[in-house]
Amino acid sequence: MDTTELFERLGLALAIGLLIGLERGWRERDQRSGSRTAGIRTFTLIGALGGIWGAMTPALGPIPLAAAAVGFALTFAFFEWRELQAKGEFSVTSTIAGFIVFALGAYAVLGDQVVAAALGIATMALLAARTPMHRFLKTLTWPELRSAILLLGMTFVVLPFLPNRTLDPWDAFNPYQLWLITVVLAAISFAGYAAVRILGERWGLLVSSVAGSFVSSTTVTITNARLAAQSKSERFPFLALTICVAWMTSLSRMTALAIGINSVLFAPLLPPVVAAIGVLGLAALYFYWRSAPNHTGAEPSFKNPLDLKFVLGLGALIAVIAVAAKIASDSLGQAGLLAVAGVSGFADVDPVTVSSARLAGTTIAPAQAAQAILLAAGANLVTKMSAVWIGGSRFAAPVTAAGILAMLAAVAGLFLY
């Protein structure tokens, strides 16, 4: 490398030490001078030290750099140990931070500058996040930790080992693709729960209903209808609002899932879905206007970080519907696919959405695939409108009317397309 590049790389090594030194120095800014092993100046010099040894490596070879790293590590760890003894504390964070600064200083000269800078910034951010991370750990529950572990295991342990090819005679069952969709659904479930945890219960039932509808808007509908059955009539409009918002979220999610799998569905799906969401939005505004004087909170209905049983069951249902839809479309054409969509839609719209999106543009036309998805969504909405009556006729009648108008608007949008 030329002199200009060498100065750039050494400057980056200094900057990495300075960044981490800023954080370490700021955290210990109230300590008296000379009572700490390393602050902003020392960490900056450690970065420079690593960079200088890195610059000498092409001429001297890797052994001197390794020896310098060991010598630095022993010296720095000794002084950190002395400091912790004097304070009566147990912590290895600053020691590890010093090792990282030395290593990144050398890597900034010998390796990729972008990677070195990114790791330096990430290290600084991690060190600075000590308080909120400790606070987060104190509030973290075992179901939340277990759900995160399960989601990571599903993604990085199971998924890579699944064959990415069809294994059935009908060329429909691809384990990798179907499990990937199951992982996405699980991630959406976990993200919805995390949103509720981050935002808190200030928005109460509304936020939890929106988050819950990313997993199962039918479950949200049943839960809120039960709340209506146990509540006074003054709360009916707000509970109706949450159900309309959940239905809107479910339609948006269904459309995003279909278009994400196959972009050719954008044009045929958008008009009817936008029309239905528009009607539900107007209904939500009406219920909000009715509920404004009595806008009270409620317990969140979305409490499970990751309902693994539900997600795995949904994945199995998606696999069954995928094969059934392929057989039906091959044997009976569009009529067979619509029959499968209409029946399975009463239980869940996702399997039909996934199956139809995968077939669109290959076995069937995009418009026919969109019709199957919309039919399943309509059947699913009928299920949810039936569940609303758990809350009683006074609560269910206006919500059901909104659902029927949304279905009619979707049909009109489909015909216009």
pLDDT in tens, 33-74: 655 677 888 999 999 999 999 999 998 999 999 999 999 999
The CA R_g of the chain, rounded to the nearest whole Å, is 29
Q: How many CA atoms lie within 13 A of 90 on its CB side?
A: 0
Q: In Å, how far from its chain's centre is CA 199?
A: 15
Flag whether pLDDT at 122 surpasses 50: yes
Average pLDDT over the chain reads 81
Q: How confident is the model at residue 228 (pLDDT cuts 50, 70, 90)?
A: confident
Give the DSSP H or E segment for 294.
none
State mean pLDDT over 98-115. 95
Q: Do 352 and 321 form a contact (C-beta atoms < 8 A)?
A: yes
Flag whether pLDDT at 303 surpasses 60: no
CA angle 122, 128, 130 (to 5 degrees): 110
State mean pLDDT over 356-374. 81
Other C-beta atoms lying within 10 Å of the C-beta of residue 384: 22
Q: Do 414 and 271 form a contact (C-beta atoms < 8 A)?
A: yes
Q: How confident is the model at residue 298 (pLDDT cuts 50, 70, 90)?
A: very low
**Which of 41-50, 192-201, 204-213, 245-254 comes out lowest in average pLDDT?**
192-201
At 201 the pLDDT is 44
CA-nearest of 289, 222, 256, 278 to 405 is 278
**Which of 45-49, 165-169, 243-247, 295-299 comes out lowest in average pLDDT?**
295-299
CA-nearest of 284, 290, 295 to 247 is 284
Flag whether pLDDT at 299 surpasses 50: no
At 93 the pLDDT is 86
Residues 134-144 have pLDDT tens digits of: 777 787 778 78
Q: How confident is the model at residue 386 (pLDDT cuts 50, 70, 90)?
A: confident
